[in-house]
Amino acid sequence: MLADITPVILAYNEEHNLRRTLQMLKWAKEILIVDSGSHDATLDICQEFNNTRVVYNPFESFAAQCNFALQQSINSEWVLSMDADYVLSDALVEELRSLYSPPEINGYRINFQYLINGQALRGSLYPPRVCLYRKDKARYQQDGHAHKVAIEGEISQLSSLIQHDDRKPYARWIASQHKYADQEAHKLKMTNWQKLSWPDRCRKSGLGPLLVLPYTLIVKGLILDGSAGLEYSRQRLTAELLLFKALFIQNKTRP
């Protein structure tokens, strides 16, 4: 099935991640990269690989970028939707190579293994995503700071993993978290309680910062992953505190 899959990557100033991602995609006939105005070495790295095609689109939202990508000329039935810090495992490449999809299956959900500075964690809060799908059966919509894809037809599950290995500088990460917190707070405020998942109910109730460390360190077992597990838990606590602050401000200033 590899010959009928086009990886699609969203990119903006991804010089710290992109080369590792592209090295695991050498099997692809073409990789479509949607760039939103990178001014670091991202585009130079793309030129190192002869199977990349870069198109530019100004960033409005993650969902808009993905839908723009699906409107491009893609010469395959299937799309593998990726971020620039997604690294395919060898096992996943082999699973895709041998995959046969029945006609009623239009998408596949894939689990993630989270890495901190290259060290794999035994667990994380990063959810599975529908990353592989028939391009004509998919449409994206924004979901808080994130995005999700709606698939016409059935969705199945792959057994192998994608590694999430973001090595951008901390200053870039914290700037993104401030922006994401505002977007996520608006989503939580505007969504009825009954429609929220239990983690989002905890966040909307203000319990996120209190629960995140016990959950990551004890329930997920990250205390056993040493400094990498502690760093991931610290990052999640920081994100929850920023969201708590954004919720407080929005509840106080907006009707």
The pLDDT assigned to 148 comes to 87
Which pTM value belongs to this model?
0.90
Q: Where in the chain is the domain with CATH 3.90.550.10?
A: 2-164
Q: Where does the chain show beta strands of DSSP type E?
A: 5-11, 31-35, 52-56, 78-83, 86-88, 105-116, 119-120, 129-134, 138-143, 146-151, 154-164
One pLDDT digit (tens) per residue for the chain, 255 residues:
899 999 999 999 999 999 999 999 999 999 999 999 999 999 999 999 999 999 999 998 999 999 999 999 999 999 999 999 999 999 999 999 999 989 999 999 999 999 999 999 999 999 999 999 999 999 998 877 778 899 999 999 999 999 999 999 999 999 999 999 999 999 898 889 999 999 999 999 999 999 999 999 999 999 999 999 999 999 999 999 999 999 998 887 655
**What tokens were used for 229?**
């597990």
The pLDDT assigned to 255 comes to 54
How many CB atoms neighbour CB 50 within 10 A?
A: 7
CATH code reported for the domain at 2-164? 3.90.550.10
